Amino acid sequence: MKYYIKINKFLLIIFFFSLFLFLFLILKKNNIDNFENNKYIILLGDSILNNSNYVNEKLSVYNIVKNKNLNTYLLAEDGATINRLDKQIEQLKEFPYEKLNNNNTYIFISIGGNDILEGNISNNKKLENLLNNYLNKIKIVKIKYPKTNLYLLNLYKPLKSKYEKYYKIIETWNNLLEKEKENNKNIYKILDISKIIIYPNDLVYSIEPSINGGKKIAEEILNKL
C-alpha cells in the first residue's frame, strides 16, 4: 500500500511539473511574439491614434497595436492640434535616446484634422503655412533622432454632409503631404488611411475612428514594422 501511494505521489509530481513546463513554454512563446525584433512604436498626434474616448478602451487603436507589440507608447491626445505637437515631442526625452534613435523604432504621427476643422482654412496659402509649421516640427524630430522611422498619417474625410465643405481642403492637404515628402528628401513616409477609412461603420459620430476603423488603422501601423 505504501509503495502504491508513493507511486501516485510521484505521478502527481510529474503531472504538475509537465503542466507547469507547458504553461511556461506558452508564455515564453507569447513573450517572444510580442517582442519580435524588439520594435518600439510611439504614437503622437490626435484622436485618430488616441480614440479611447469614443470606443471601448481595450479596442482603441493604441491597445490593438500594443496587444501585438508590447513596446508601444501613447503620447497622442484627443483634440490635439499641430501646436500641441511641441509638448508631445518634448515628452520623447523621457525615452532612452538609444531606443529612440534606432532603426527598430517607429514614430507615427496623426495631426492636422483639428486645425483644418477649427481654423477656418479657406485657401491653399493658409493650408501651406499650416503644413510648413507641421513639417518644421517633423524636421526637429528627424534631426534629434535620425535613425528612427517616421510615418505621417494623412487625413480621411468625415462622413457627414456638414463636413463636405472641407473635402477639397483635405484632398489638397494629403497631396501636399505627399509632395513635401519628396521635397524633404523622404525624411518621413506616409501612412495612407484616406483609402481605408471610407465606410460609415469606420467612424463614430461620423468623424472619430470606430472599433472597425481603429482596427484598420492599427493593422496599417503593424504592417509597416
d(CA 80, CA 113): 9
Residue 22 has a pLDDT of 58
pLDDT value, residue 5: 52
Domain spans, the chain: 1-34, 37-223
Grid coordinates 501646436 are at which residue? 83
CA 7 – CA 208 distance, rounded (Å): 63
Write out the chain's pLDDT in tens, 225 residues. 545 455 555 555 665 556 555 554 554 444 434 434 589 999 999 999 999 999 999 999 999 999 999 999 999 999 999 999 999 999 999 999 998 999 999 999 999 999 999 887 768 888 999 999 999 999 999 999 999 999 999 999 999 999 999 999 999 999 999 999 988 888 999 999 999 999 999 999 999 999 999 999 999 999 999
Amino acid at 225: L
- The architecture that CATH gives domain 37-223 is 3-Layer(aba) Sandwich (3.40)
